Amino acid sequence: MKKSPLTLDKDRKQQVIHKLITYIDDEWELEIGSLKAELLLDFLTETMGAELYNRGVGASREFLLKRMEEMDLDMDQLKL
């Protein structure tokens, strides 16, 4: 499996691992340790990270393109 270039800093990764442990315990009544949660997080990042990132980039691009069109219309209104 190809490694994702997307990473979390150490503190954020630990926060997400804790949230995964809590979620799995609350929702599935299954206790997992930090290592299993970290492996799950790594798997999810590797398999879905790039797709989610690309969706964010696409949404940002659409927003910026729309805003640029609006700015272009605003500039036309400033013409004498």
Q: In the prediction, which pLDDT does 72 show?
A: 94
Q: Is residue 25 part of a domain?
A: no
Question: Domain of 66?
Answer: 50-80
Q: Is residue 73 part of a domain?
A: yes
Q: Is residue 38 part of a domain?
A: no
Q: Is residue 15 part of a domain?
A: no
Q: In the prediction, which pLDDT does 3 show?
A: 55
Q: In the prediction, which pLDDT does 6 show?
A: 83
Six token digits for residue 79: 């013409």
Q: Is residue 62 part of a domain?
A: yes
Could you read off the pLDDT of 60-72 as tens digits, one per residue? 999 999 999 999 9
- Greater pLDDT, 1 or 12: 12
Q: Is residue 35 part of a domain?
A: no
Q: Is residue 29 part of a domain?
A: no
Q: Is 22's pLDDT higher than 70? A: yes
What total of structural domains would you count in the chain? 1
Could you read off the pLDDT of 28-56 as tens digits, one per residue? 999 999 999 999 999 999 999 999 999 99
The angle at the Cα of 52, spanning 48 to 54, to the nearest 5 degrees, equals 120
CB within 8 Å of 8: residues ≥ 6 apart? 16, 45
